[in-house]
Structure 1
Amino acid sequence: MSLSNDIKGIDLIKNKGLVWIYVDQPTREKLDTLSREYPLHELNIEDCLSKNQLPKIDRYDDHVFIILQFPTIKKEKTIPRFSQLSLFIGKDFLISIHQGNLKPLTDLFLACKFQNVKNIKAIMGNSPGYLLHSILDALVDDLLHLLMKVIGNLDDIEDAVFDDKVAIAKDISILRREITTLRRIVVPLKRIMVEVISRDVRKFSTDVEEEDLISYFNDINDHVSKVLEALDESKETIEIYKDTDHMLSSEKTNKILSFLTILFTLSIPVSIIGTFYGMNILIPGSVNYSENMFDYIPFMLTTGLSVGALIVMLYYFRKLGWLNNLTK
């Protein structure tokens, strides 16, 4: 292959016949340039230009195309976002394509490019299978760091759940979203890793490296499995914290409502008496006194209507079953 290292937006490293081509922020022009030198299928090129493809593996006679997703966090945002990584892996080349926001991949390429030959050999090895292992290992290690942050946030929420002075409903919701996002990344990654180990490691490894590379990929797969198990446990834990916070908040609300209900109930007799004596009618015991009983007819009517309305409401409430618990 005669691909030049001077093409803008495309960088490459060569080591003993193996070429690592690094592309960030892919464009149609860049991928068309690569397709003239390497057997890239048009459908795979379209997948690389899209930012929201589902993880998958496409196998061809002379190369394999892999799409993976890894989390990335912007400085102004704490919630992980999906970032797509596309890989073309052939007998003597590996092409990595991403949007430029996978920092572990960028750091790995720069370490390979600007450091000594010994470091290049440690990263690239002698086959594209070994280089693929190095890339996945760096990205999965970064995934483990994000998992540690999630577990740390879980510990903080555990301390805050039982603190009445702290409102953590929003923090719980954000952490649930983080865990869900990471699980949506790790579950397909686990499936892809199993397929790569079972079908593709031998295809792109030398006979000498084959056995060792399977062990290396099994180690990455083991890390992915541990991440998935930890995320499942974290999901269950955050659901418990959510239910606990809801229960404690409801209990606190009920205490406040109970206090207000008692306060309102205690004020009812005073309100009733004040209401009767505030009416513009003659009431026994008031300042306006009369010896004529007919002058008290408005008072009798008001009292009778009030008592009658009370009896009707009690009957209606009992018919609805609202008073059953009070009569048991």
Structure 2
Amino acid sequence: MRKGFISKRLRSGRKIVEESIEKKIEIMKAENFEWIDVQNPDRSDIEELAKKYNFNTLNIEDCMTRFELPKLDSYDDHFFVILHFPPLAQKIGISKNSQLSIFVGKNFIVTVHQGDLKPLVQLVDICKTDSEQQSKNRLLGKSSGLLLHEIIDVLVDDLLHTSRKIIANLDELEDRVFDETKPVARSIALLRREINRLRRIVNPLKKFVIEIAKNVKRFSESKDEELTLYFDDVIDHIDKVIETLEESRETMEIYKDTDFVLSTEKTNKVLGLLTIIFTLAIPSTVIGTFYGMNIDLPGGLGESLTFLGPHTMFIFIILASSVPAIMMYTYFRKLGWISN
């Protein structure tokens, strides 16, 4: 397997050079409403829109906050919602989400974000050009409610695509877990972090999409049944993402436990081998210790044994060290402590 597959497939902890996103305000006029997309805005830009569409001051503050909890505020002529989605890139060690703030009324829809949601940026590009006229007509041809569905739908589809990448990572990780030559602890930790981050995004998302489906009917000329079917399809995709993430989390726990067991077994084998080596070396260590003392011993410097030649004492020491070691080795093999 390729080393570092997590970082290539998903947003891992690898440092990514982030491109600076310039401030951009795009206004796309449709027959019945207009779509205003604001990327990386200044406070003055949001305040001008607030004066034009009578936005609540607290919602303006929420738009300017880089991270605000998901929420939905409903008013007589519009509603305001904050949703979170995974960004295109993130800094090392920081698990951040990208915030999307949306104001929806009968004749307008305003989206505020930092420009790092690629599917949303692509929708804006489609509506600003005539290169994909059919898609442009589908997005701007009916009502603000249907456009809101399209925006949420492409972002949820991106989540679904990311969850499928996680499944691909799990398949590759399974082979690495059982390969003792490749460490996988860091890969497991990175993928677990990615799964948990997506779960924190997706779990509240379903609740807010259901609330959006209830509120958006007030500002749409489409039939209630049509909008309901559209948003039910989005909710079904969210359920698939949640189900995939839950299964992936359970699988990751299995892989984590398996890797721990295999690593522990490998460590025990190494420690067992070192213990056996040390045990077999005990006889020679003991003999060497005695003859290293400054006392008279048989065969010492003061007494020379030569019945096996000039190296008789050396041969005797080798035999005295080897015979107990061989006996211990044979006994350990009989007990099964040393495998073949």
Q: Which TM-score tier does this pair reach, normalised by the shorter chain?
A: 0.7 to 0.9
Q: For residue 308 of structure 1, what is the aligned residue in structure 2?
A: none
Matches of 2:248 and 2:26 in 1, distance apart?
40
Give the fraction of aligned pairs with identical amino acids, expressed as a percent. 50
| 1:267 corresponds to which of 268, 281, 288 | 281
Q: Which has the higher contact order (CA 8 A, sep 6+)?
A: 2
Q: Give the aligned residue type for 1:71.
A: P
Q: Provide TM-score, normalisation by structure 2.
A: 0.78
- Extract unaligned runs of 5+ from structure 1: 1-7, 290-328
SS in 1 for 2:103: strand
- Matching of residue 183 in structure 1 with residue 236 in structure 2: no
Deviation at residue 36 of structure 1 after TM alignment: 1.8
1:1-328 equivalences in 2 (<5 Å): 9-74=24-89, 81-115=96-130, 118-197=134-213, 199-206=214-221, 208-284=222-298, 286-288=300-302
SS in 1 for 2:86: strand
Deviation at residue 146 of structure 1 after TM alignment: 1.1
Matches of 2:152 and 2:266 in 1, distance apart?
49
Matches of 1:178 and 1:81 in 2, distance apart?
11
Counterparts in 2 of 1:102 and 1:142: CA distance versus 1, 3 Å: same
69-78 or 16-25, larger mean C-alpha shift:
69-78
SS in 2 for 1:230: helix
Matches of 2:216 and 2:43 in 1, distance apart?
30
SS in 1 for 2:125: helix
Deviations, residues 241-298 of structure 1 (Å, cap 9, x unaligned): 0110111011011101100000000001110111011111233553446xxxxxxxxx
Q: Provide TM-score, normalisation by structure 1.
A: 0.81
SS in 2 for 1:201: helix
Matches of 1:261 and 1:281 in 2, distance apart?
31
Deviation at residue 124 of structure 1 after TM alignment: 2.7
114-123 or 250-259, larger mean C-alpha shift:
114-123
- Extract unaligned runs of 5+ from structure 2: 1-22, 304-340
- Contact 1:56/1:192 (8 A) holds in 2: yes
How many aligned residue pairs are there?
280
Which is higher, the Rg of structure 1 or of structure 2? Answer: 1
- Contact 2:88/2:117 (8 A) holds in 1: no
SS in 1 for 2:219: coil
Matches of 1:73 and 1:19 in 2, distance apart?
27
- Contact 2:24/2:39 (8 A) holds in 1: yes
- Contact 1:26/1:48 (8 A) holds in 2: no
- Contact 1:79/1:174 (8 A) holds in 2: no
Counterparts in 2 of 1:107 and 1:78: CA distance versus 1, 3 Å: farther
- Contact 2:90/2:96 (8 A) holds in 1: no
Deviation at residue 164 of structure 1 after TM alignment: 1.1
Q: Give the aligned residue type for 2:201.
A: I
